[in-house]
Each structure stands twice: as C-alpha cells, then as structure tokens.
Amino acid sequence: MMTSKEKILHRVQLGSDGPPIGAQGLGCMGMSEFYGTTDEAESRATLERALELGVTLFDTADMYGIGANEAFLASFVRTHREAVLIATKFGYARTPQSPEDWSIDNRPEFLRAAADRSLKRLGVDVIDLYYMHRRTDAVPLEESIGAMADLVAAGKVRWLGLSAVTAAELRAAHAIHPIAALQSEWSVFTREIEEDVVPAAFELGVTLVPYSPLGRGMLTGQAFAQSLTEGDARRNFPRFASQHHQANMQVVAKVEEAARGLGITSAQLALAWLHMQGRKLNAKVVPIPGTRRRSRLEENVAAASIILPDDVTAMLDPLAGAVQGAAV
Ligand SMILES: NC(=O)c1ccc[n+]([C@@H]2O[C@H](COP(=O)([O-])OP(=O)(O)OC[C@H]3O[C@@H](n4cnc5c(N)ncnc54)[C@H](OP(=O)(O)O)[C@@H]3O)[C@@H](O)[C@H]2O)c1
C-alpha cells in the first residue's frame, strides 16, 4: 500500500520512440539463481512493491534459472500486463540438459526459437524489450539484428536491446533497426563504458540500463567472499576472490564512510551516483539493481531522488581504478 509520503520514481523515455519508464528497474535474476538462497514469497512481494513505487522495467533472461526466472515472473507479468515492461534476453545456449553450456549463439534460427520459448514461459503475446544477451562474431551482426527486427515485424517483440556490446556494434546494429536500450555493467566500481559506449548511446537516443549497479552487492558492503553461501556464483568471480579481498574492502570502506556522512546507505550512494553520472554525461539511465527483498527495494528506489554533493562525487571518482579483480 502506498503512503502519501512515498516518492514515486521519475520517468525516462525508452529509446527514441518508446514509452516513459520508471527511472529505476528491478533486476530479477537473483530471485531464481546465482546469488544464494531464494525466497519466492518475498520475491513476489518485492515485485508488487516495486510496481507500487513506480518501477516499470522488470529484467530477466531465458538463461536465469534456465527458464525458471521467466516462469516465476509469468503470473506477476500477466496480472499487471499493462503496467509492466518485461525485458528478457537470448544468446546463451544453456538448457536444462546442458546447464554448464554457456556458449553464445546469435544465429537467427536460435533466437527465433528462443523468443518463442520465452513468450511461452512468460505467458504473454509479446515481449516488451528483447535483448541480445551476448554477441559473438561467429554470426554477422546483420543476420542477428535482421532476425530480431523480424520478431518486431511479426508482433512478438516491441523494442530491441543489446547487452555488453561495443560502441561500434551499437552503431552498426542501430543502423539496421532502432535499438531502444543497451544493458551494460556500470557502477562506481566498473566504468569502462563511459569512454565511448555512453556517448554513442546518447547520440543514438538509446537508453542505458546499467546492470550490476551495486557491483553484484560488493558496493553495499554486505556481500563478501566469506559471507557468500555454498552455490553462490560470486564465489567464482575474480572480484570476489580472497586475494583481492583486502584491497576491495578498503575501497568499499570509503564508499561506506561517504554514505554515512550523508546519512544514506552505501547502496543508495551507488545508485544516486549512477543517476548523477547519467545527467553529467547526457545519458538516459535506468539502473536495474537486483534484490529479492522489499526493504532493500524501498531503499534502492529512494536513491533515485538523492542529489550528491560535488565533494562526494569527486571522492568516488578514482575508486573504480582501485578495485581489484575483473568484474566477472
Ligand atoms: N546483461 C547482463 O549480462 C547481466 C549481467 C548481470 C546481471 N544482469 C541483470 O542486472 C540485474 C542486477 O545485477 P546484479 O543482481 O548482478 O547485481 P547488483 O544489482 O549490483 O547487486 C545485487 C546484489 O545486491 C544485493 N542488494 C540489493 N540491494 C541492496 C541493498 N539496498 N543493500 C544491500 N544489498 C543489496 C542483492 O541481495 P538481495 O537480493 O538479497 O537483496 C544482491 O546480492 C540482475 O538481476 C539481472 O537482471 C544482467
């Protein structure tokens, strides 16, 4: 239930011809896989609460839980079909029969079949935003984007998106069919896209959707190698490796100190920074922090309206250079 004091998220246009969407989305991946124990009831309540607070973009992929995440979201999406913008992705060959197969497949026949499977699992007639999850040079870009454009023409998909591509790939794809959104890792700790991908997105009117905006939880100070439970995929990520623990703890401590000084949480500082960075770089930015808990969702949504003082953004500026270990 909304209370009168609650702030609703401001809106940002999706691409050049898409609808206005809540300026923060919700990453749903962890509700089914990768980040430890899941809790379906609390996850479902988190989805409902997100919608109440103005979140409209809900992010999944066919490979999250090997279809389980899309299937989990189906009843929520169907119940709120007009209000929810459901984004899903194709590109990994992973199946229940081959869970360890993370090879990338961009072939037209593969993505056509993948789209049909996602439509069926989500129980919808149309996917609002359909991303190519990863790109491989094995298939010419024109073939994959052409087949994605055919899905739009067939009414199975509304808008197209790409994930983790270069500025040149974004431009080439956009020349074939308008790309509404680009999803890439972007946070206080991971800033590679700022150099040429962000300017290209601005020039083309593409909305940027930063994934892992909390550094997969690391930035919040609450997810460290030692506290990650058995089966948590982050135990295998270089950035969470024990040899980088001490150095990264020091960087996280600086974020915590700055947040404490402002009376906000580290997660809020990280998200507020992304919104401010978007304004500074002229980018339309819709981060998709992932959480399975209502309390954190509320905390994260509130961050979208926090303005950071210049001395704090200046202090955060060099931190990405001090973080040890690759993001993935
Ligand atoms: N395109 C791609 O290749 C790609 C790659 C990775 C992710 N994604 C998408 O991006 C979404 C977000 O990325 P992500 O989940 O990897 O990382 P993230 O959003 O940076 O961090 C998620 C982690 O932070 C925790 N968390 C969230 N809010 C918090 C808060 N206020 N305080 C403390 N901890 C908090 C979550 O735990 P709880 O759930 O327990 O709150 C979870 O462990 C994913 O859900 C997925 O949809 C896309």
Alpha helices in the chain (DSSP H): 40-52, 68-79, 108-122, 141-153, 167-176, 197-204, 242-262, 266-280, 294-302, 310-316, 319-322
**CA 34 to CA 19: how far, in whole Å?**
31
Relative to the CA of 295, which ligand 1 atom is closest? 31
Given this model, what pLDDT does residue 224 score?
A: 66
The secondary structure of the chain in percent helix, strand, coil, rounded to multiples of 5, reads 45, 15, 40
Instruction: Check if 218 has its Cβ closer than 6 Å to any atom of ligand 1.
Output: no
Given this model, what pLDDT does residue 174 score?
A: 98
Q: CA-CA distances (angstroms) from residue 43 to 38, 203, 290, 317?
A: 8, 37, 11, 33
Measured in angstroms, how far is the CA atom of residue 190 from the centroid of ligand 1?
Answer: 14
Annotated catalytic, 64?
A: yes
Measured in angstroms, how far is the CA atom of residue 109 from the centroid of ligand 1?
Answer: 31
Given this model, what pLDDT does residue 52 score?
A: 96
Mutation test residue for ligand 1: of 266, 296, 301, 323, the one with most atoms within 8 Å of CB: 296
Instruction: Check if 184 has its Cβ closer than 6 Å to any atom of ligand 1.
Output: no
Given this model, what pLDDT does residue 43 score?
A: 98
Tokens of 210: 């930063």
Given this model, what pLDDT does residue 66 score?
A: 96
Write down the catalytic residue from 35, 64, 92, 211. Answer: 64
| AA identity, residue 193 | I
Classify 144 as helix, strand or coil. helix
Taken in order 94, 72, 30, 135, is the CA torsion positive or negative?
Answer: positive
Q: One digit per residue, pLDDT tens: the chain, 328 residues?
A: 555 566 679 999 999 999 999 999 999 999 999 888 889 999 999 999 999 999 999 999 999 999 999 999 999 999 999 999 999 999 999 988 888 889 999 999 999 999 999 999 999 999 999 999 999 999 999 999 999 999 999 999 999 999 999 999 999 999 999 999 999 999 999 999 999 999 999 999 999 999 999 999 999 988 765 678 888 888 888 888 889 989 999 999 999 999 999 999 999 999 999 999 999 999 999 999 999 999 999 999 999 999 999 999 999 999 999 999 988 8
Instruction: Check if 215 has its Cβ closer than 6 Å to any atom of ligand 1.
Output: yes
Instruction: Check if 162 has its Cβ closer than 6 Å to any atom of ligand 1.
Output: no
228, 235 in Cβ contact below 8 A? yes
Q: What is the DSSP string of 272-324?
A: HHHHHHHHHTT--B----B-S-HHHHHHHHHGGGPPPPHHHHHHHTTHHHH--
Instruction: Check if 36 has its Cβ closer than 6 Å to any atom of ligand 1.
Output: no
Given this model, what pLDDT does residue 3 score?
A: 58
Given this model, what pLDDT does residue 4 score?
A: 52
